[in-house]
A and B are shown apart, each in its own frame.
Chain A
């Protein structure tokens, strides 16, 4: 079973705040599901190439082009941000 410390570490990596009283629930629930995954150990996967998706397509690329947007379109994006200043989304200081 995952320890309380494990759960707090995973929460921190996931950028999700959790209350102390929730830790035990997460320990139980996450461990139940992780235990369930153990059945995969019995599958012989020697020499099997893993697949990430099923289309078999390689990377599809496009030009790195600047696209001009109208003021209306810009505002539609900016208006969704919790905090803005002039025509910019305001980000908390990172330095």
Chain B
């Protein structure tokens, strides 16, 4: 879709301003119901669109993303724009700088429409943990769009943006992409700079695209990769153009199916569609092989130890002093802490009590406990060791096969409110996606079919995981599947 729009722009069949205004019109008409956006950045968008139109008029060459409207998850900083991470604690926060990905997008001429809703600080699997609004799934507005990048996924699925950026810590790009019937890519850890992404769990977070086609995901990835001095974990890149690797040929590749993923808790309808997709990959010439990821059953518990531990440390910065919300309710909490003056301590307690939502507080407390004296070895250290074993599983699997294929989620999009009272059920939603974050490998979710529920067609996503830094491989395999079998959304 990006390529087609790019062609139209350079041929003069439309202008960037016209395109941008069309999208704001769509947002105006549809977003009252879908509620994908938290903030619109119309001034910024029109300014950028005008700039691109001038360039085209002058006959200058423009970049592939130039003039094309994009939505940005609200945990990615844009200079001068409110950035809340869907939290009350950042309700009045105006980002003083651009995230590295935003800097790149601005340089490439992308037109930023606004900031999208999400679970508060990206903690959640349904976008219901937003402090502001409930985003609806465009396929059935009684259902969640997934999360935490639910606003980005819904905006793309409803065509309120051509594409969007999200972030993925345990599945937060791939799971909502699957629920909404679009494409979502989590690159290898280190592929894309995290500078300017509000940190949730730093060893797991990664920024990536949500798009309507696999080709679009490849195009966007080519534009946002790169080593960055401001992110010490970012990896060197070689200006690869991922779209050039989409050959549509997967006849010599080996795809592994992890037997542990099919054992329990998988919805029957999803299982059937998944088996169909395996047959389709076979028809395309791929060799299918059963593999084992023996420690995959421990991914969820390992993740729910490591992630909150990192969360508790990262979110310590929200203290009601430097920026964000400050609350002083003047009442004594009854807590005493040696070495900290009472008034300062009470400001911390009050600001964080009123500023954070319940899931965020729970995770901070869980992490604080897991890292506290006497429990560190039993919890955090143990989880780091199991993480090493999970990574080793992938190393061994990738000696036998090129890619690993699974459903993206164990079930289709669930109803709003269905899982909010059962934490472990909600966490279970990420069971197939979190291993890619723990091991760092890239993963892509793409539509493999639909099932009917309550008279609505609900999308199902398949996930391909690849070797470290082999985004081109999984993109090509997903692309080959898409051009042969997917129905247009």
- Chain A residues with CB under 8 Å of chain B are 7-8, 10-18, 26, 29-30, 32-34, 36-37, 39-41, 43, 45, 48-55, 57, 59-60, 62, 73, 76-77, 79-83, 89, 91-95
Contacts and interface: CB of A to CB of B under 8 A. Distances in A.
A54 B439 contact: yes
B365 A14 contact: yes
A16 to B, nearest CB: 5
Nearest to B316: A15
Contacts of A60: 232
A73 B97 CA distance: 8
B301 interface: yes
A53 B203 contact: yes
Contacts of B440: 53-55
Contact of B423 (A12, A32, A89): A32
Contacts of A14: 312, 352, 361, 364-365, 368
Q: How large is the interface on B (under 10, 10 to 19, 20 to 34, 35 or more residues)?
A: 35 or more
Given A54-B203, A62-B229, A82-B326, A40 B382 contact: yes
Interface in B292-326: 295, 297-298, 300-302, 304-305, 312, 316, 319-326
9 contacts: A11-B335, A15-B348, A17-B349, A49-B385, A52-B384, A53-B203, A54-B439, A80-B94, A89-B321
Nearest to A76: B96
Contact of B381 (A13, A50, A54, A89): A50
Interface in B367-401: 368-369, 372, 379, 381-389, 391
Given A16-B365, A40-B382, A55-B235, 20 more contacts: A7-B365, A11-B335, A11-B365, A13-B372, A14-B364, A15-B349, A17-B349, A18-B353, A29-B362, A33-B304, A39-B301, A43-B298, A45-B385, A54-B189, A54-B439, A55-B233, A77-B96, A80-B93, A92-B343, A93-B344
Contacts of A92: 321, 341, 343-344, 347
Contacts, number: 166
B285 interface: no
Given A36-B301, A59-B232, A91-B321, A17 B353 contact: yes
| 10 A-B pairs with least C-beta separation | A50-B384, A54-B440, A17-B353, A17-B349, A76-B96, A82-B326, A80-B323, A45-B385, A60-B232, A53-B203
Contacts of B365: 7, 10-11, 14, 16, 26, 30
A90 to B, nearest CB: 8
B168 interface: no
B389 A45 contact: yes
A16 B343 CA distance: 14
B319 A51 contact: no
B459 interface: no
Given A30-B366, A80-B93, A51 B232 contact: no
Given A16-B361, A40-B298, A50-B381, A76 B80 contact: yes
Nearest to A57: B233
B94 A48 contact: no
B350 interface: yes
Interface in B169-195: 189-190
A82 B321 contact: yes
A62 to B, nearest CB: 7
